Amino acid sequence: MKKFASVIIAVVTLVFCFTLSACENKYVSHYSATLMVRSNTSNKASVSFDSFNGTYVMHLKNNSADEVFITYEAMLEEGNINVYYDFNDEKLNLFEIETNGSVDGKTETFTGNKTIYIIIESDGNCNDGSFSFVLEKSEK
């Protein structure tokens, strides 16, 4: 009986831990993709794919009080994708890219020690895409 009780307590503890960690994420990725390559560090994030359908979320972290901005580059062979960012609990449109499109640019300046979410959402199936985001210090 002690073994059974120990197993039940261990399972409940694991479920509780996973439930708490899932609540931490503001946005959730849900997608289907083939040949998808992802990289996400605190100041750089990129994703490239052969095919993609759904939502993919990346996190960049400003680890200081310095002003920063994000430079980005994107290319898409086929489909339609909207890219958003969230810095102060508001999901804002960053750019839209369509078939045979490419885009590059930079965001507004962010201040504060916070997480910046990058949200990539497809409008159906997309093919041959590449997205790159780099957090850079603002020079005054």
Q: Considering its fold, how many domains does the chain have in total?
A: 1
* pLDDT for 131: 97
Q: Note the pLDDT tens digit of each residue in 82-111.
A: 999 997 788 999 999 999 999 999 988 877
What is the CATH number for 35?
2.60.120.260
Q: How far is CA 138 from CA 50, 109, 122, in A?
A: 34, 7, 30
For residue 3, is it within any domain?
no
94, part of any domain: yes
Residue 10 belongs to a domain: no
12 located within any domain: no
In a domain, 11, yes or no: no
In a domain, 125, yes or no: yes
DSSP letter for 86, please: E
Full domain range(s) for residue 72: 27-137
Residue 6 within a domain: no
Higher pLDDT, 95 or 42: 95
SS3 state of residue 123: coil
